Amino acid sequence: MTQRIIPITSANFIAGRTPDQPLDLPAIFGNNQPLALEIGCGTGHFVLERARKQPETNFLAIDIYNKGCHKTCRKIDEAGVQNVRVMRIEARWLLDKGLQPESLSAVYINCPDPWPKKRHWSRRLVNREFLLNLAQHLEPGGDFFFSTDFDNYAQSVAEQIRDLNGYHNMLQDEWTHYLADYPISKYMQRFLDKGQQIYYMHYKRDAGVPRHLLPSPPVRRGFRFDWQKVGND
Ligand SMILES: C[S@@+](CC[C@H](N)C(=O)[O-])C[C@H]1O[C@@H](n2cnc3c(N)ncnc32)[C@H](O)[C@@H]1O
C-alpha cells in the first residue's frame, strides 16, 4: 500500500527536488548568509528552535518523508521564521548533486534511523563513505553535530571518524550526554522520556586541512534514488 502524498504549498518548501545542478541558494533564501543543513528533520522541532536562535544563518531542512516535510513547513510558517527552507530529498543525493563543495557552515543529524539489527548496519546513513563525502561539503571550520540514542551507532561513528583526516573532535570525549544550548528534537524527547540517554557528538571540519588533502570519497557507481516511487511533492 502506498501512502497518500500530501501536497505542500508552503512558500518555504523547495519543490522539484531532484537537482542535477547545485541549488541557487542566494535566490532561494534571498541573501548570502551561511548555510546550515539538517538531515532527516522529521517534523521540524529541532530546526525551528535552532533557526530561531541563529537568525543570521540559513537552514536547509531535508527529509525523504513527505508528511515530515509538510509538518516542518507548517511549523516554520506558523512561527514566521524567515531563515528556514524545507526540501524533500535524499541526503546523499543532495550532497552529490545539489550543493557546492565547502558550502555548509554546519550539518546536524539527530536520531537517524538506527538500524539496530547487525545485518542491517550497512543501511545506516552515517558511515565512512558518508563522512568522507560530508567533509568535502563542510566549509573549513564548519560544524558537524550527530546525536543518537543508540550506543552502537555512536560507537560506530566515533570509530570511523576518529581515523579520518579532516575532522576535529570538539568534545573532551567521543560523545557527551549533555550539550548546552542544543535543541531537543522530537525523537530525542521520546527517548529522554523513556529514561534513555542521548549520545551527542560534535566535530569540526579541520580548517588546517585544505580540501585537496581530504581523503576522497569512493566513487559510488549506479547510485539512484527513484523519485517516481515516492511521489511528486
Ligand atoms: C528517526 S527519524 C528522526 C527525526 C528527527 N531528526 C528527530 O530527531 O526527531 C529519522 C528521519 O530521517 C529521515 N531520513 C532517513 N534517511 C534519510 C536520508 N537518506 N535522507 C534524508 N532523510 C532521511 C527519515 O525520513 C526520518 O524522518
Domains annotated on the chain, with CATH: 31-218 (3.40.50.150)
Check pocket membership of 98 for ligand 1, CB cut-off 6 A: no
Instruction: Look at residue 19 in the predicted model and tell me its pLDDT.
Output: 67
Name the pTM for this structure: 0.94
- Three-class DSSP category at 50: helix
CA–centroid distance for 205 within its chain: 15
Check pocket membership of 153 for ligand 1, CB cut-off 6 A: no
Residue ranges in the chain whose pLDDT is less than 50: 224-233
Instruction: State pLDDT tens for residues 169-193.
Output: 999 999 999 999 999 999 999 999 9
- Three-class DSSP category at 152: helix
Which residue among the candidates 77, 96, 113, 143 is catalytic per the annotation?
A: 113
Q: Rounded CA gap, 223 and 220, in Å?
A: 6
Instruction: Look at residue 2 in the predicted model and tell me its pLDDT.
Output: 66
- Three-class DSSP category at 49: helix
Question: Closest Cα to residue 6, out of 76, 85, 88?
Answer: 88
Bridge partner list, 110: 147
Question: Closest Cα to residue 176, out of 210, 147, 144?
Answer: 147
User: Residue 36 in contact with residue 100, Cβ under 8 Å?
Assistant: no
Instruction: Look at residue 16 in the predicted model and tell me its pLDDT.
Output: 73
Catalytic, 149? Answer no
**Cell triple for 111:** 536520531
Q: Which atom of ligand 1 is nearest to the CA of 90?
A: 20
User: Residue 110 in contact with residue 187, Cβ under 8 Å?
Assistant: yes
* Nearest CA, atom 5, ligand 1: 42
Instruction: Look at residue 17 in the predicted model and tell me its pLDDT.
Output: 57
* DSSP designation for 6: P
